[in-house]
Structure 1
Amino acid sequence: MFVRKLVEKASKKPSGNSDGLKGSDIEPRLLFHYGIPSGCNMLAYDPIRKILAVSSKDGRIKLFGKDNSQALLESVNAVPSKFLQFVENQGILVNVNSKNHIEIWDIEKNLLADVHAFEEDITSFTVMQHSLYMYVGDSAGNVRVLKLEQEHIVQMKYTVPYSPSHGNPTEETGDTSVTHVLPQPAAESKRVLIIFRDGIISLWDIRESKTVFTAGGNALQSLHHEGKKVTSACWACPFGSKVAVG
């Protein structure tokens, strides 16, 4: 009611009183947002702190916490998110946007702590549980390792190159991008499962820097059928012996 009367008063023409409220004196702007923003495209959840993050296509990120608490994060880049993931129980949210910028958000201060511009097109992103390391897969088929140090991203020298990890140089493929990087359960720091768009599945030994198992690929499919591409994957058991691929 108060807002309506204020707008009505501002819309009236001043009658000689220079001290009257004018329409130009009112500058509406968003001070607080309640609820889920429109155009949501990504979700992330911290099960320890019980915080849900929802990103939208215009670059906003909404946080939902305990006791119906809410917070709105707004980046200078109003672009959609490609990947959104918490560093569990650290108060850190990592957002990878469509410009291949990796944003580090301090959710306790609602502050953008760091932005790392990645050189390649990011096609896969994973934060290792119980650590500050991250795997980034790109469109060229390589996997790079990043580390979070004092809320800033540092790119490590360790890289999983495409040729030895893909392990099928004789097969011609039009899409070499990495779709999933899945640390093996119970051996997260030792082995990682790399899944390529063309269906190749490779279990990579991090310490020995070599492939210990390879499966899948379009070569196993009939020549009379169009090669299928991987769109989703996850571990299907807590021991890392079974994986589901769609």
Structure 2
Amino acid sequence: MYVNHTSRKGSLTPKDLNPRVTLHYGIPCAASILAFDPVQSLLAVGTREGTIKVIGGYNVEGLLVSPKQLPFKNLEFLQNQGFLVSVSNENEIQVWDLEHRRITSKLQWESNITAFSVIYGTSYMYLGDEYGSVSVLKYNAEEGNLMQLPYYVPTNVIAEAAGISLSDHNSVVGVLAQPYSQGKRQDGFYLRVSFLFIALLLIAYENGLVILWDVSEDRVVLVRGNKDLELKGKTVVNSSKSARHEPSESEADHEQAEKEISSICWASTNGSVLAVGYVDGDIMFWNIPTAAPSKDQKTESSSNNVVKLQLSSSNKRLPVIVLRWSADRSKNDCGGQLFVYGGDEIGSEEVLTMLYLDWSSGIESLKCIDRVDITLNGSFADVVLLPSVGSVEGCGTLPFVLTNPGQLHVYDDACLSSLISQQEKNTSASPLQYPEVIPTIEPYMTVGKLGLVHRDGKFSRDLSKIVLAAKAQASDALLTPVTGSTKWPLTGGVPCQFYAAEDYLVERLYVAGYQDGSVRIWDATYATMSLIYVLGSELPGIKTAGAGAPVSALDFCTDSLSLAVGYACGRVCLYKLVGSSNETSLNFATETGKEGMGL
């Protein structure tokens, strides 16, 4: 809290107070969206309240607070550049400086933003809106300025090539630069990725239309839609893992009504296959050219190579909300893992579905090798995929799954392998949960208290010596905590170090009591908290009623460093954290009397 000390005595007003959150530990309960920087190994978690949590290695956390408490509908890193871009529900585009934890530039968009993507490795961004327009933005880090470039995709050219009316106002629901496509404009508009120039842009519209646009030549290269859909096959993957491939289609399948697109993703590293999710629960795999034809060649509009995948044979299925792809390097870009949220029968259990797909003999022969339904810990919010060098064949990915309220789980190779090996439906495995510095759910926190330690007190220096010794002994474990056989996979950022050992004094302690009866004490002097004591619920050598009862009350004496812990069963324990010797004394009181012992 900031107080304006220039105010005269007795004239304090509400404007003189500016309460705000400066530190936060763990995953916010209102978390709703994820972004990942694979180069710097940082994860961003956006919330419905306008805050963003940036997470790196263990005990590396940063908090970004937007001036407006609004949800984010888009969140992406400018990879390896130290900047994060967010789009709020009010269509304000914000660029965050991660080093200084502040907004460095922002731009208010006039129309509703319906699609957004950052070109990998650059400061360029594509933006699609509710009127079907696609614009280009660029962030200039030297000037700290986010600007709209004069380049745009003309809607009249798109409409003419697709045979639609401009009055349709079809929203753009996806905009993706095709990986590794090459091109160069003569007017100086360059989009550089991996030493190549992006030439082809994939634009998906709400009404089912998919356009491949040549940025270099300002023309439509390919049109994909529902009117000329000619399916080469259909694969139905039931929840029981049985897959049925149907190479021929009935007449009903050829008579395609307008299918609204709800999600898209590349299903290949070179952009040759596009996965499209629809509101009716279908998933289509489209063949996409990776090079633009010459101007003399006619724009391709037929849909000869497309296959349908369904997660259920039911006629009523959920919309395909999220699609994420991880390529299997051993299949030469002809297979991998598709993560799907949605697409199953309406009323079915909420899961994240992982499909192992293969089309080594051509896209028309697409088959599902295996299906895994990941049971969620809460309601689904988002998922991002981290690269991993796995030992399981076909697994090169660590899925980070965000669920409500505020839970983040990582499914490592061992966990995915366990899920694959199980044949029963709804099997369970134990993912790695985000290793919170201060746990609040597992175990469940019942009470917490922040206590001050007087620097000049006689116990302060003794406590500081104990804390420093504990930190030095546990420093390696703190940086790479291990749960089972898995290390925390994120490594980005640098742990905060604000003190020199010779001058260090503990100034604040945070004490928390839990439902299992345990008590934990952290050094809260600086932003990076560190655990220094864990007090169990049972007293050594003493049998008392109510052992393991929840902690219901805490109090802390700053002068004597004594701690009082009250339990739901009526028992009270008195701890003295630092005494005149190396012993810690303990007294506990009950309704019938008081007993004491030395520890």
TM-score, structure 1 normalization = 0.82
1:35-184 alignment to 2 at 5 Å? Answer: 35-150=26-141, 151-166=144-159, 167-170=161-164, 176-184=170-178
1:229-240 alignment to 2 at 5 Å? Answer: 229-240=260-271
For residues 140-173 of structure 1, give each alpha carbon's deviation from its aligned partner in whole angstroms, at most 9, with x where no partner exists: 0010001111231111110002232243344698
Counterpart residue type for residue 267 of structure 2: A
Quote the offset at 1:219 in angstroms: 6.9
Larger radius of gyration: 2
CA RMSD of aligned residues (A): 2.3
Distance of aligned partners of 1:163 and 1:91 in 2 relative to their CA distance in 1, 3 Å threshold = same
Quote the offset at 1:67 in angstroms: 3.3
Quote the offset at 1:39 in angstroms: 1.6
Distance of aligned partners of 1:149 and 1:29 in 2 relative to their CA distance in 1, 3 Å threshold = closer
Quote the offset at 1:29 in angstroms: 6.2
Alignment length (residue pairs): 220
Alignment-derived partner of residue 205 in structure 2: 196
Distance of aligned partners of 1:80 and 1:120 in 2 relative to their CA distance in 1, 3 Å threshold = same
Counterpart residue type for residue 150 of structure 2: K
Quote the offset at 1:71 in angstroms: 1.0
Give the whole-Å Cα distance in 1 for the aligned partners of 2:200 and 2:20.
50
Distance of aligned partners of 1:172 and 1:190 in 2 relative to their CA distance in 1, 3 Å threshold = closer
CA contact (8 A) 2:227 2:256 kept: no
Counterpart residue type for residue 240 of structure 1: G
SS of 2:136 mapped into structure 1: strand
CA contact (8 A) 1:141 1:161 kept: no
Give the whole-Å Cα distance in 1 for the aligned partners of 2:81 and 2:164.
44
For residues 202-245 of structure 1, give each alpha carbon's deviation from its aligned partner in whole angstroms, at most 9, with x where no partner exists: 10000110001101136759798753211111111112111000
Give the whole-Å Cα distance in 2 for the aligned partners of 1:132 and 1:112.
16
Counterpart residue type for residue 110 of structure 1: R
Give the whole-Å Cα distance in 1 for the aligned partners of 2:35 and 2:225.
30
Quote the offset at 1:139 in angstroms: 0.5
Counterpart residue type for residue 43 of structure 1: L
SS of 2:157 mapped into structure 1: helix
Distance of aligned partners of 1:218 and 1:76 in 2 relative to their CA distance in 1, 3 Å threshold = farther
Quote the offset at 1:52 in angstroms: 0.5
Runs of 4+ in structure 1 over 6 Å off? 221-225
Alignment-derived partner of residue 18 in structure 1: none
Q: Which runs of 5+ in 1 are unaligned?
A: 1-26
For residues 106-126 of structure 1, give each alpha carbon's deviation from its aligned partner in whole angstroms, at most 9, with x where no partner exists: 011101101100121100001
Counterpart residue type for residue 106 of structure 1: D
Counterpart residue type for residue 201 of structure 2: V
SS of 1:68 mapped into structure 2: coil
Match of 2:226 among 206, 217, 221: 217
Distance of aligned partners of 1:207 and 1:38 in 2 relative to their CA distance in 1, 3 Å threshold = same
Q: Which runs of 5+ in 2 are unaligned?
A: 1-17, 182-196, 231-251, 278-599
Counterpart residue type for residue 105 of structure 1: W
CA contact (8 A) 1:163 1:169 kept: no
